Amino acid sequence: MQFIFEPTKAPNLHISKMNPSFFRLKERIAEVADLKSAAAVLEWDQETYMPEGAGEVRAHQVATLRKLAHSLLTSDEAALLLDEAIHSEDPPTPHSDHHLLLTIWKRDMDRARKLPSELVFKKSKAIGYAKESWKQARLHQDFSRFESDLSRLVDFARQESAILGYSEHPYDALLDEFEPGMTTQQVKTLFEDLRKELIPLVQQMTVAPQPADAFLYQKFDSAKQWDLGMYALKSVGYDFSRGRQDLSTHPFSATFDISDVRITTRILEHNLISGIFSTLHEFGHALYEQQIDPKWRRTLVAEGTSLGIHESQSRLWENHIGRSFPFWTSLFPTLQSYFPESLSGITLQDFYRAINRVTPSLIRVEADEVTYPLHVLLRFELEADLIEGLLEVRDLPEIWRTKMQSYLGVTPKNETEGVLQDIHWSLGAFGYFPTYTLGTLYAAQFYEQASASLGDLDNQIKAGNFAPLREWLRTQIHQFGRSKSASMLVNQITGSGLTTAPWIQYIKKKYGEIYEL
Amino acid sequence: MQFIFEPTKAPNLHISKMNPSFFRLKERIAEVADLKSAAAVLEWDQETYMPEGAGEVRAHQVATLRKLAHSLLTSDEAALLLDEAIHSEDPPTPHSDHHLLLTIWKRDMDRARKLPSELVFKKSKAIGYAKESWKQARLHQDFSRFESDLSRLVDFARQESAILGYSEHPYDALLDEFEPGMTTQQVKTLFEDLRKELIPLVQQMTVAPQPADAFLYQKFDSAKQWDLGMYALKSVGYDFSRGRQDLSTHPFSATFDISDVRITTRILEHNLISGIFSTLHEFGHALYEQQIDPKWRRTLVAEGTSLGIHESQSRLWENHIGRSFPFWTSLFPTLQSYFPESLSGITLQDFYRAINRVTPSLIRVEADEVTYPLHVLLRFELEADLIEGLLEVRDLPEIWRTKMQSYLGVTPKNETEGVLQDIHWSLGAFGYFPTYTLGTLYAAQFYEQASASLGDLDNQIKAGNFAPLREWLRTQIHQFGRSKSASMLVNQITGSGLTTAPWIQYIKKKYGEIYEL
């Protein structure tokens, strides 16, 4: 029994009524948004509740939804409507919602129409092979099994860059997909700053006395860990009427609308902190999308404005809040009440130092707050050189080992714990990695500003009062969705562009105290 | 990170390679199937895990998916491909898979193209209003609040019937949507048989001594009831690698592919049998779709061939198996071990008689096996007369009361427990009700044949050995999906058309023993 509903009214959008092409285009775009949301529901289900035997057909279903979304977005009908809407006799006022929507849709449609579907299709097939050979290569600790498939994906990325166009560096065109407006040169400058500061700092910390943290890795009942995570989510203010938490192999957040932003977590029985920090991380992502202004629903604008800004929100809640002393001042007594025996004799100070232990290691996803950017730096340098043609795929394992030793002082014993560790390249996703560290930098810059604006933020956190911070984030960042770019946000909030200073200062202060440097 | 997969190969389909239009059409149809499956996932999620605040946008998302599926199916491109495929120089051999697919697609596309989208859209809007006014009318026990919206939906149904066409009775065109090929006259004849047999039988049973069943309505722990249902599902052979069970307000089954057929159940704390029988009922639906031949995946053929046949599978497992003495011979000791105190002193015979108690009542969904068809008969007679124009909406409450008294000997005290009890009419679904009882009749006819073919079916059930029956159902019914019509199935399996005799005989024998008539 199927039937069709009336399109949502969006009464808060300020749009002239004199532009019928605009409204017809808006309906088409709403369908694109619905298809993307539906694909996201199917992917969420695949990672949480789908029966094991259903993977193959689910892949077809998701592919069909994404393909139809792409067809609608790149259709001649949509292009004509866009053209009519822009050149209407009643043109949109600059900076009006109307104008913003047309600008964003034009950007999305232009980008989507540039890539020939033949190339997209060939790349998709190549990804299919690469995912499989990447798995095989990892299993056999043998990069050569992945090499030719990866080379093909690098070739596709180079072609895409040429087709999409760039002004300075071919990597710019790829970066722009994930961090619109950011350039390779900007990233290089920022990351060079980080490298100079971090390498000596990490060396200092490595030789300093380490906080004891073995007590974190006892056996902790999974159900109790789950309850603790739910307790923490309620404390920080996750809106369960518009979201939920489930378990999955890899934690993620998924948005189907601002009214339905879900997160998943993973609980490790012998790790007290992995689950809770993944929960806080995903909460940061989810809060961003839950707090977007409802007027942007079903317009493609109700999304994070860039991956870097998105990551800034997860890192703000995971690190600046979650790994802070004030946060655990409030939560540690509760934690102890969940695990009285395992944590008997452990003080708040012991716990705080343990969860902030810094150890150079081989695996990015297990890295601490301080060494993480060095893992990203390495990948960014390799990617940029690969795309520019200064480096070839066959040379990756060797240069990986060299850089790991030089940046982190550790060398992988095999390629599975080295160049083969990340899934991103097997998916053809070049330009994604830098956004992790851009997020770290944005987070520190935003957090510094929030502290200045909210005054006694530490005391609010100690008291478990997160409403002022959530509201600050909503008004300063979240509500805008994609209607403000990352650089607009950072400039309007902090009065300057993206810079490394606040994060360096935060790290030096925090870890100077913990490590008594 | 999105990418497209290669279309599934379907190596078992016997199709000439010389018909490129056919293969292009098949790809279009696969997309329609994917969209319908995606809509079903979103609806399943809505009833199981979706946060409460997400309902409004979810309705848009599902509507967009269904609208796009309809657009693809009714597109001029698809119609042209169908025409080329049918009139190809290499035409399909009669009865080949190729021929079957074209026949079914032509039927679906013709029907979908007949209804003007203007009518479909207006009807959808009318349904939106009717759902709301139906809820209000129920709340206030006041049919007049629903009357004008229902009248509009009856008008739409009459219009649809005229557009779709029929040879004898205008109701035929509506019935055909749910039970393809069945006519109003056939249903009238079958139901008249039932009425003649059932009314005196029910009267006899009403005055006979009733089995004691109060022990079924004590408090039974929900978690244990859930475990019992899962135990029963494993016993009857539900394939959990291609399905799962969850909780929902109203039990249902949902198919996303033969590899992913899920069911839901509802557990009532003060009712020991509601949950287990709803589980067995939905299992019957799910087994049907899990056992369809994989070659029909993503062709629109991998569905039940009619609602009546679908219902026959759920009723076969719920009633012929689930409410039988042999079934509980095996399961009752387990049940007692779950609830030793509440069931102490209850014998298998007591339990069997209690779960088969017959009581004429007002509410269809709570009716027992014997009186259920009388509820359906009443609705069918009203619907057929409404569509033919022999009855008007305003007269429904009065005639409802009269017929309830005459068929079941009970009269509703208000309209909420009378004419307002079912959701179907508020959704504009006329022609649906008869399929419940057609399912009952098909089930008895199939079960009689299965018993004859499998010999010692009762002993197999006593031993908890359901594999032979599942396999019989697979080879005789399930594997074909929509590639064999309901009448083909019943004729090929039983050697005759649909008839009431096997069910009447089953009911008389079973309840003759229980009620010592």
Given an 8 Å threshold on Cβ–Cβ distance, is B35 in contact with A123?
no
Return d(Cα B334, Cα B352) in angstroms, integer: 15
Residues from chain B that touch A5, judged by Cβ atoms under 8 A, are 59-60, 63, 124, 128
Nearest CA in chain B to A66: B2
Given an 8 Å threshold on Cβ–Cβ distance, is B35 in contact with A297?
no
For β-strands A260-265 and A253-257, DSSP reports them as: antiparallel
Q: Which of A53-57, A157-161, A386-390, B188-192 has the lowest mean pLDDT?
A: A53-57
DSSP, res B49: T
Q: What is the pTM of this model?
A: 0.93
Interface test with B, best of A26, A153, A260, A300 (most B CBs within 10 A): A260
pLDDT band (50, 70, 90) for residue B374: very high
Mean confidence (pLDDT) of chain A:
94
Partner residue opposite A64 with nearest CB, options B31, B260, B262: B31
Q: Which residues are registered as beta bridge partners of B247?
A: B265
Residue B6 has pLDDT above 60, yes or no: no
pLDDT band (50, 70, 90) for residue A15: low
Given an 8 Å threshold on Cβ–Cβ distance, is A54 in contact with B427?
no
Could you tell me which of B324, B321, B325 has the C-alpha nearest to residue B312?
B321
Return d(Cα A252, Cα A265) in angstroms, integer: 7
Residues from chain A that touch B31, judged by Cβ atoms under 8 A, are 64, 67-68
A-to-B residue pairs, Cβ atoms closer than 8 angstroms? 180
Residue A90 has pLDDT above 90, yes or no: no
pLDDT of residue A88: 85
Could you tell me which of B477, B498, B437 has the C-alpha nearest to residue B284?
B477
Residues from chain A that touch B4, judged by Cβ atoms under 8 A, are 63, 66-67, 120-121, 124
Chain A nearest C-alpha distance from B243 (Å) = 6
Residue B139 has pLDDT above 60, yes or no: yes
pLDDT of residue A351: 98
Residues from chain A that touch B239, judged by Cβ atoms under 8 A, are 53
ipTM computed for the complex: 0.92
Q: Where are the domains of chain A?
A: 18-114, 165-517
Given an 8 Å threshold on Cβ–Cβ distance, is A30 in contact with B124?
no
Given an 8 Å threshold on Cβ–Cβ distance, is B53 in contact with A259?
yes
Q: Which two tokens stand for residue A366?
A: 């297990």
Partner residue opposite B35 with nearest CB, options A64, A66, A240: A64
- Exposure pattern of A250-278 as b/e (b: 16+ CB <10 Å)? ebbbbbbbbbbbbbbbebeeebbbbbbbb
pLDDT band (50, 70, 90) for residue B8: very low
pLDDT of residue B10: 45
Given an 8 Å threshold on Cβ–Cβ distance, is B2 in contact with A123?
no
pLDDT tens profile B63-104: 999 999 999 999 999 999 999 999 988 778 888 999 999 999
Residue A14 has pLDDT above 70, yes or no: no
Given an 8 Å threshold on Cβ–Cβ distance, is B37 in contact with A61?
yes
Nearest CA in chain B to A3: B124
Count CB atoms within 10 A of the CB of residue B196: 12
Chain B nearest C-alpha distance from A473 (Å) = 22
CA distances from B37 to A268, B42, B179, B235, B415 (A): 34, 9, 21, 28, 37
pLDDT tens profile B221-257: 999 999 999 999 999 999 999 999 999 999 999 999 9
Q: Say what percent of chain A tops pLDDT 90.
A: 90
Q: Which residues are registered as beta bridge partners of A246?
A: A264
Select which of B43, B160, B179, B282 is catalytic.
Answer: B282
pLDDT of residue A124: 86
Partner residue opposite A241 with nearest CB, options B39, B52, B57: B52
Residues from chain A that touch B38, judged by Cβ atoms under 8 A, are 38-39, 41-42, 61, 64-65
pLDDT tens profile A301-334: 999 999 999 999 999 999 999 999 999 999 999 9
Q: Which residues are registered as beta bridge partners of A247?
A: A265
pLDDT of residue A16: 63
Given an 8 Å threshold on Cβ–Cβ distance, is A45 in contact with B41?
yes
Radius of gyration of chain A (CA): 23
Interface test with B, best of A1, A2, A42, A120 (most B CBs within 10 A): A2
CA distances from B328 to A480, B235, B336, B340 (A): 61, 12, 11, 16
Partner residue opposite A34 with nearest CB, options B64, B241, B243: B64
HSE of B347 in the Cβ direction (CA atoms, 13 Å)? 4
Q: Which residue type does B322 have?
A: G
Q: Which two tokens stand for residue A100?
A: 């913003």
Given an 8 Å threshold on Cβ–Cβ distance, is B58 in contact with A120?
no
Select which of A43, A179, A282, A448 is catalytic.
Answer: A282
- Kindly list the strands in the beta sheet with B245-247, ordered across the sheet, starting from the edge strand earlier in the chain: B245-247, B260-265, B253-257
pLDDT of residue A64: 93
pLDDT band (50, 70, 90) for residue A3: very low
Topology of domain B214-361+440-484, per CATH?
Answer: Neurolysin; domain 3 (1.10.1370)
Torsion angles phi and psi, residue B255, rounded to 5: -115, 125
For this structure, is A516 an active site residue? Answer: no
pLDDT of residue B262: 98
Nearest CA in chain B to A39: B38
Given an 8 Å threshold on Cβ–Cβ distance, is B38 in contact with A128?
no
Interface test with B, best of A56, A64, A125, A423 (most B CBs within 10 A): A64
pLDDT of residue B94: 86
Interface test with A, best of B57, B58, B160 (most A CBs within 10 A): B57
Return d(Cα A140, Cα A119) in angstroms, integer: 31
3-state secondary structure of A257: strand
Return d(Cα B290, Cα B300) in angstroms, integer: 15
Chain A nearest C-alpha distance from B255 (Å) = 11
Terminal CA-CA length for chain A = 69
Residue A118 has pLDDT above 90, yes or no: no
Residue B416 has pLDDT above 90, yes or no: yes
Return d(Cα A304, Cα A289) in angstroms, integer: 7
Please give the residue that has the higher pLDDT: either B117 or B212.
B212
pLDDT tens profile A428-480: 999 999 999 999 999 999 999 999 999 899 999 999 999 999 999 999 999 99
pLDDT tens profile A201-260: 999 999 999 999 999 999 999 999 999 999 999 999 999 999 999 999 999 999 999 999
> Looking at residues B121-148, what average pLDDT do you find?
93
Residues from chain A that touch B34, judged by Cβ atoms under 8 A, are 60-61, 64-65
Residue B2 has pLDDT above 70, yes or no: no
Q: Where are the alpha helices (DSSP H) in B396-515?
A: 396-408, 434-454, 457-462, 467-476, 486-494, 501-515
**Do residues A194 and A500 touch, judged by C-beta distance below 8 A?**
yes
Q: Which two tokens stand for residue B366?
A: 């709570």
pLDDT of residue B70: 94
pLDDT of residue A117: 84
> Looking at residues A96-119, what average pLDDT do you find?
93
Given an 8 Å threshold on Cβ–Cβ distance, is A256 in contact with B2?
no
Architecture field, domain A165-517 = Orthogonal Bundle (1.10)
Chain B nearest C-alpha distance from A105 (Å) = 19
Chain B nearest C-alpha distance from A232 (Å) = 19
Mean confidence (pLDDT) of chain B:
94
Count CB atoms within 10 A of the CB of residue A344: 9
**Do residues B219 and B231 touch, judged by C-beta distance below 8 A?**
no
Sign of the CA dihedral B34, B35, B37, B38? positive
pLDDT of residue B12: 61
Q: Say what percent of chain A tops pLDDT 70.
A: 97
